[in-house]
């Protein structure tokens, strides 16, 4: 049965163009519409479109459809369906580079302490205002009707976008998900928005309840990752983390450096995993090693990530080519250069020049002598190979010897 809408349909655009939707998704929406159901785009894709930001993923809420099985049957005509979010009434598909979630309107009730401890009721004929009530902020509760090219905005989210505000929707449901503390800080940082006074009061209520302790590391880390990687000024979010005393470590001395690092990365095609390590190095630089390890261990179980941050936090650059060559054997010098640039190291241009001249900016110093060279000199493979190679590398660095000079020194020192 086709639903009758009882809400004010808005034509209030911030972005004047129409949302650009992949053709296959349009086909799916059309099939749903022609089948008597009512699909709407909602959440981050609508919010980002209105803010003139690139839409990365899509959330589609389908009204009037009886159950997930019927929805899945329609989706499977077009592509593979993942039901990883099925317990929450969500089905996932991938089109091109987009992740697309399809859901049925639902109401939620918290029945435990973890993020999975919610009682979910799918109510396909729920009206939009009641369906949107479970969402966190008004800016994430704007619905878009592709076929009418219009917005349904039950909680004045468009007005809050224009006023650059983060405002909660429903007091009761808001405090049931403690992750909303980190989401509020993340949105404020990513969009440079202000959190309303009443919303801040609710955030404090959540924090005082101790519910943050029940959040999984993975969920917290994901929000911190978005805060750092998606903000032009991550300091906005860091100031909120400090204001609400979320962590034992304060970031107050790192605000300027973290924004500088964000600026450095702005026009560089840098791997996001690498960038994230460097953001945390800047955040935790000069802290005690045990404090750095404790902080990271509370937000992630990724040992490789933790070790990368901890090891880089201990390093510093010297304007000395011998030291730089030695460091290149253990770390990527450009990583440390980015960190030093963020903190305004005055010698960084000279250091950068020396690294480029020695071709060690993004790779380890290339050894003149390798195992094959020792074989050419008549050595038999043995445990001594490593000692001889280390001997040659030390001479190459300390005395800047050529390959032929190193061969001579090896023959003199190791052949009797």
pLDDT tens, residue by residue, 272-330:
999 999 999 999 999 999 999 999 999 999 999 999 999 999 999 989 999 999 999 99
Averaged pLDDT of the chain: 91
For 166-192, what is the mean pLDDT?
96
| Torsion angles phi and psi, residue 93, rounded to 5 | -135, 165
d(CA 256, CA 254): 6
pLDDT at residue 308, rounded to an integer: 96
- pTM here? 0.88
Lowest-pLDDT range of 105-114, 186-195, 232-241: 105-114
CB count, 10 Å around CB of 305? 17
Q: Give the ranges where 108-254 is alpha helix by DSSP (H).
A: 128-132, 157-163, 171-174, 180-191, 197-209, 217-229, 235-243
pLDDT at residue 121, rounded to an integer: 85
pLDDT tens readout for residues 76-126: 999 999 988 787 889 999 998 899 999 999 887 665 665 556 677 888 889
Q: 24: which 2 tokens?
A: 């296959």
Contacts of residue 177, defined as CB under 8 A and 6 or more positions apart, other chains included, come to: 110, 115, 136
d(CA 290, CA 222): 23
Q: 166: which 2 tokens?
A: 């983060």
pLDDT tens readout for residues 382-416: 878 899 999 999 999 999 999 999 999 999 998 76
Question: Do 156 and 139 contact (CB within 8 A), yes or no?
Answer: no
d(CA 223, CA 303): 19
Q: Is residue 367 packed enough to be buried (19+ CB in 10 Å), middle (13-18) or exposed (0-12)?
A: middle
The answer to whether the Cα torsion of 205, 208, 211, 213 is positive or negative is positive
Q: Give the ranges where 76-149 is alpha helix by DSSP (H).
A: 128-132
Question: Do 108 and 176 contact (CB within 8 A), yes or no?
Answer: yes
d(CA 213, CA 207): 9
| Torsion angles phi and psi, residue 177, rounded to 5 | -120, 105
d(CA 251, CA 247): 9
Residue that is written with structure tokens 């939707």 in the block: 21
Name which of 138, 88, 84, 78 is nearest 115 in CA terms.
88
Higher pLDDT, 12 or 174: 174
CB count, 10 Å around CB of 120? 15
pLDDT tens readout for residues 244-267: 999 999 999 999 999 999 999 998
Q: 289: which 2 tokens?
A: 């090693």
7 has a pLDDT exceeding 60: no
Residue that is written with structure tokens 């405090």 in the block: 175
| Torsion angles phi and psi, residue 257, rounded to 5 | -70, -40
pLDDT at residue 123, rounded to an integer: 83
Name which of 38, 45, 30 is nearest 9 in CA terms.
38
């Amino acid at each position: 049965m086709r639903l009758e809408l009882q809400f004010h349909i808005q034509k209030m655009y911030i972005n004047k163009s129409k949302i650009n939707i992949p053709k296959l998704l349009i086909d799916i929406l059309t099939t749903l519409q022609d089948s008597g159901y009512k699909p709407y785009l909602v959440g981050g894709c609508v919010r980002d479109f209105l803010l003139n930001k690139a839409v990365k993923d899509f959330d589609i809420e389908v009204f009037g459809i009886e159950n997930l099985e019927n929805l899945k049957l329609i989706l499977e005509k077009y592509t593979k369906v993942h039901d990883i979010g099925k317990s929450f009434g969500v089905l996932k598909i991938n089109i091109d580079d987009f992740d697309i979630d399809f859901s049925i309107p639902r109401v939620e009730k918290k029945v435990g302490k973890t993020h999975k401890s919610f009682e979910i009721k799918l109510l396909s004929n729920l009206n939009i205002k009641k369906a949107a009530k479970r969402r966190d902020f008004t800016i994430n509760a704007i619905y878009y009707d592709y076929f009418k090219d219009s917005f349904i905005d039950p909680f004045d989210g468009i007005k809050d976008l224009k006023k650059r505000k983060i405002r909660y929707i429903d007091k009761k449901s808001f405090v049931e998900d403690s992750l909303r503390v980190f989401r509020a800080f993340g949105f404020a940082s990513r969009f440079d928005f202000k959190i309303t006074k009443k919303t801040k009061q609710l955030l404090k209520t959540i924090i005082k309840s101790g519910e943050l302790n029940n959040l999984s590391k993975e969920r917290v880390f994901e929000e911190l990752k978005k805060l750092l990687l998606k903000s032009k000024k991550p300091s906005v979010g860091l100031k909120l983390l400090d204001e609400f005393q979320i962590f034992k470590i304060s970031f107050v001395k790192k605000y300027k450096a973290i924004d500088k690092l964000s600026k450095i990365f702005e026009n560089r095609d840098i791997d996001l995993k690498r960038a994230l390590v460097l953001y945390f190095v800047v955040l935790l630089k000069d802290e005690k090693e045990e404090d750095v390890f404790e902080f990271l261990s509370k937000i992630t179980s990724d040992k490789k990530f933790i070790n990368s941050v901890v090891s880089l936090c201990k390093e510093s650059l010297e304007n000395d080519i011998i030291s730089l060559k030695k460091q290149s054997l253990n770390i990527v010098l450009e990583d440390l250069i980015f960190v030093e640039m963020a903190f305004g190291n005055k010698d960084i241009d000279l250091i950068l020049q020396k690294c480029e001249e020695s071709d060690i900016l993004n790779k380890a110093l290339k050894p003149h002598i390798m195992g094959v060279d020792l074989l050419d000199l008549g050595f038999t493979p043995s445990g001594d190979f490593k000692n001889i190679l280390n001997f040659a590398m030390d001479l190459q660095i300390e005395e800047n010897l050529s390959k032929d000079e190193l061969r001579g020194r090896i023959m003199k020192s190791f052949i009797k």
